[in-house]
Amino acid sequence: MIRHLKDILQHLKKQDLEYLGDIFEQDYPSRMKKAELVSELAVYLSSSPAEWLNLMPERDLMLLLRIREAGPDVRLNEYYPDYPSVLEYAGIVSAYPVDDPDSIYHEVWMSREVFRKVMPYLDEALLKGFESGRFQAERRMLGYLNLYGIIPYGLFVDLMDDSLGVILRSPLLKLCRCFAQDGAYYVCTPCIDSVEDVLKERSVFEEITDYRAFSDEEVLEAGGGAPEFVFGLATESGAALDEMLRSLGYEGADLAWEEHEIWMCAQDPERNLALFDALSRKGDAILSQEDYDRCVEIIADYANHLPKWRLCGYSADETGAMRVYVDASGEMAEGTPHWEMPRPSISEGYTDLIETTPELDALTAMMPPGFPFGMAIPHVAENDPCPCGSGLKYKYCHGRHKS
């Protein structure tokens, strides 16, 4: 195991190794050379799994549980998470992208040697995490950060209250970015890609001067299921979303991941089109344009109900800002960040018809109204709806059969 970990750790920068030492509460002197850091960390991780497992976040221990159920050297397809697993980062859990560059999965596994060293202590670590209240504190911390996105450090301390002492030792707080902006200190959810963008766009909403209050139940809901956080499914719009996704064939981990992705996409104007990717991935289950439109409206309604990072936890429904529209008819104040989701339109193609015949008339009658049928196959952009009328993007429908 020591040799395996050395092979992984030696590819990290010295700064990253020092960061790992901090996470595992190993106080190495700054003058220590990189080779020495690699050796010290590898020896510690190999010799003291019963100790460092009790520091690991719930998310990491649940990953180990899935790996144990699969067995050593068995590669599992896991969704790419919004923030890294500590155990993957340290090389204890091996991770590698799958062959498909467009895949939303990566492979994770544990070598037989590491498996034998670590797994005997997993159940005890899980039990201690639950009984000590550490997992509950982690969920509360992640819940507040996921609901607000970015909050002042002083408010974070007040919100965590009695749980703060537990959280200060958690690797989760070290994964969540703490930063200074204009003399103020903030804590940021690990799910945010660009802190600067969120703060810049938040400043547009000058009328929002406070942070929305949430119940403890809401906070724990928002922080559970890491890293595939899901929120608001008990509401009317959330229940409609869940029912719709299930009707398309989503279940289990796939369902949780799609709902999480919709929540995350609802936070970022740059990702608004990805809000509807769940429909593309199950396009065969959508039988008509009417079904597609209904699904789009359900997702838009749910997205407008969700707390927004740029609105300090308030939703589009509560503020009227940053709404997701399924057409371009909504009126917003100029310069206010918001989304408009135009109805799909088919790209223009070739419209000169050849001489008509009964056979051609019969074929044309099968096409949707306005379908440009002519001498050549009409041009359809890959992100336009397929002209067959399925409601799917062309690249996910007929386009996927192109050679």
**Which H or E run contains 150?**
strand 150-152
DSSP 249: T
pLDDT at 249: 95
- Nearest Cα to Cα of residue 296 among 382, 370, 392, 229: 392
Please give the average pLDDT of every successive group of 10 residues along the chain, which has 403 residues. 85 87 88 92 93 94 96 92 85 83 84 94 96 93 95 92 84 79 87 85 88 96 93 96 96 94 87 83 86 91 95 93 68 43 39 49 58 46 68 64 45
**Which H or E run contains 222?**
helix 216-223
pLDDT at 341: 45
- Its pTM stands at 0.78
pLDDT at 401: 54
* Three-point CA angle 102, 147, 171, nearest 5°: 75
Q: What residue segments make up the domains of the chain, in order of their start?
A: 2-127, 132-223, 345-403
Q: Name the burial class of residue 138, with classes exposed (0-12), middle (13-18) and buried (19+) by CB atoms within 10 angstroms of its CB.
A: buried
